[in-house]
Amino acid sequence: MLSELLTNWSLYTNKAAALITLLVIIAINLAIGILPHVDNFAHIGGFLTGFFLGFVLLPRPRYGWLDGRNLPGSAAIKSKYKTHQYVLWLVSLVLLIAGLTVALVMLFRGENGNDRCRWCHYMSCVPTSSWNCEGNV
């Protein structure tokens, strides 16, 4: 939803409300992820994957592109997408492939990401007086 909002930013009449709504939803999902037995890394991975897939799968064609197909042969035809959309599509696709590759390699090697990052376990569970995070590490 966030990538769609950014792609179609000029179409929204109340940009602030749409952005604040999405940021509140993101914050709620991340806050739920610090509860025990809920993996925040799954929330973060799903958010990043959805964000990048939104740019890859939902590009917005240039306004008036369909009308350009009916022009005479000597007229200059504009590209269906703007240059920054091609760059964003390529960068998103590369990041998706790299992230998926790294995640699969770590999964099949049986590596624990918390061994390489001392503070990362706090992203999945914050110990309080009400619960203990020992079983989640």
pLDDT in tens, 10-21: 888 898 999 999
Extents of the domains making up the chain: 1-124
Q: Mean pLDDT over residues 93-119, rounded?
A: 87
- 13 residue type, one letter: T
Is there a contact between 122 and 137 (Cβ–Cβ < 8 Å)?
A: no
| Alpha helices in 33-82, H assignment, sequence order | 40-57, 65-68
pTM of model > 0.85: no
Query: Using CA atoms, how far apart are residues 131 and 26, in angstroms rounded to an integer?
Result: 24
> Lowest mean pLDDT: which of 28-37, 83-92, 105-114?
28-37
Higher-confidence residue of 117 and 107: namely: 107
Higher-confidence residue of 126 and 94: namely: 94
